[in-house]
């Protein structure tokens, strides 16, 4: 199959660092920003999972602890060296041709902003010029994006899982991606200063089909319309459906792991999909329980009315059916109590590692 250069456009004249984190990431970020020098020569972009309904005070918090200016970029803003940029709530932050795209494309791994969306766009746009960093966090957001950065010639860094408050994200990246540097949080600033002072590695070469697929995924994060952009050609159509919209899910193979994207654009890792499906099971059980309770209440009301009208035999039939239906609601409730929200980390607990 033909190969092509990772990206045909001009890269930034300076290095780009992209950082992804969620739970437990605040302390490493504070430590990093406090230890970066005022003459740091790269641009640094951060995606930290935040609630869509709340304003983010991350730029103000980070701005107070270090010498570099921190802001939330606007759509179309140029990416400048010596600055720190934080993703806005409920918006993906993408890197494209030296500028930011701030978009409301489909959620990825149930979140927006998504680490993978930023990393994927940075890897595609900047190739070996980018350094990707995964810090503390739950589940495995960032693994796919870090794989793309490495695939396009960039440098990959993870916080040592033993040093992370929540080790799922760095552990997943270590398992699935070729990692260049595994670092303690207090050493991260010094490592980034060293890496960004060095010349970027040689431009990587990427399979043309792979490059086109990544470009389409970036476009989906920007403007959606996944079906029209050819998402159904990304891989095998699965029996699974999207927990957010019910759309058909397609498998996407990256290295040794599998992701999923639906025909409207929502994307999941296998771990996030598993968690979403098992959470959705509980939601559906509650709906079933509500329907049964409504039926039980209606049967009892009608039975009492028949009883008052002197139609005792028919009334007893209604009341008996009401009791049977109520018994079924108790079984449904027990299923709700017993339902587990599953993830790779939860399933791995207590399991002996493969020999």
Residue position matching structure tokens 């609601």: 329
Which candidate in 22, 125, 144, 296 is catalytic? 22
Residue tagged active-site, from 116, 140, 141, 271: 141
Count of CB atoms within 10 A of residue 24's CB?
18
Report which of 217, 307, 299 is spatially closest to residue 262, judged by C-alpha positions: 217
Return the CA Rg of the chain.
Answer: 25
Catalytic residue check, 22: yes
For CA atoms 297, 302, 308, 310, the dihedral sign is negative
- Measured CA to CA, the distance from residue 99 to residue 102 in angstroms comes to 10
Q: Distance between terminal CA atoms of the chain?
A: 37
Say which residue the tokens 């010349």 belong to. 199
Rounded to whole angstroms, the Cα distance separating 61 from 66 reads 10
Burial class (CB in 10 A: 0-12, 13-18, 19+), 342: middle
| Catalytic center residues | 22, 49, 141
């Amino acid at each position: 199959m033909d190969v092509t250069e990772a990206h045909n456009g001009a890269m930034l004249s300076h290095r780009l660092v992209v950082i992804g984190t969620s739970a437990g990431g605040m302390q490493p970020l504070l430590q990093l920003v406090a230890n970066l020098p005022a003459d740091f020569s790269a641009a640094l972009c951060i995606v930290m999972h935040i609630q869509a309904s709340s304003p983010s005070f991350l730029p103000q918090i980070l701005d107070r602890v270090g010498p570099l200016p921190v802001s939330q970029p606007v759509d179309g803003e140029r990416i400048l060296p010596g600055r720190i940029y934080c993703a806005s709530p409920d918006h993906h932050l993408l890197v494209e041709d030296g500028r930011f795209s701030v978009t409301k494309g489909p959620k990825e791994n149930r979140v927006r902003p998504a680490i993978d969306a930023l990393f994927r766009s940075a890897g595609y746009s900047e190739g070996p010029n980018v350094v990707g960093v995964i810090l503390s966090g739950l589940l495995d957001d960032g693994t796919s994006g870090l794989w793309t950065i490495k695939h396009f010639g960039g440098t990959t860094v993870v916080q040592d899982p033993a040093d992370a408050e929540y080790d799922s994200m760095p552990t997943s990246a270590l398992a699935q991606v070729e990692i260049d540097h595994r670092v303690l949080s207090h050493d991260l600033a010094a490592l980034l200063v060293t890496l960004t002072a060095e010349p970027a590695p040689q431009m990587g070469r990427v399979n043309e089909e792979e490059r086109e697929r990544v470009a389409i995924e970036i476009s989906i994060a920007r403007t959606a319309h996944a079906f029209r952009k050819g998402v159904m050609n990304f891989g095998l159509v699965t029996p699974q459906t999207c927990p957010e919209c019910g759309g058909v899910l397609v498998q996407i193979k990256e290295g040794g792991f599998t992701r999923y994207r639906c025909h409207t654009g929502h994307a999941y890792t296998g771990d996030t999909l598993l968690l979403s499906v098992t959470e959705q099971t509980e939601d559906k059980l509650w709906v079933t329980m509500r329907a049964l309770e409504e039926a039980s209440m209606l049967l009892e009301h009608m039975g009492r009315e028949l009883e008052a009208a002197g139609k005792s035999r028919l009334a007893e039939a209604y009341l008996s059916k009401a009791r049977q239906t109520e018994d079924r609601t108790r079984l449904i409730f027990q299923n709700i109590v017993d339902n587990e929200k599953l993830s790779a980390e939860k399933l791995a607990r207590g399991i002996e590692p493969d020999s």
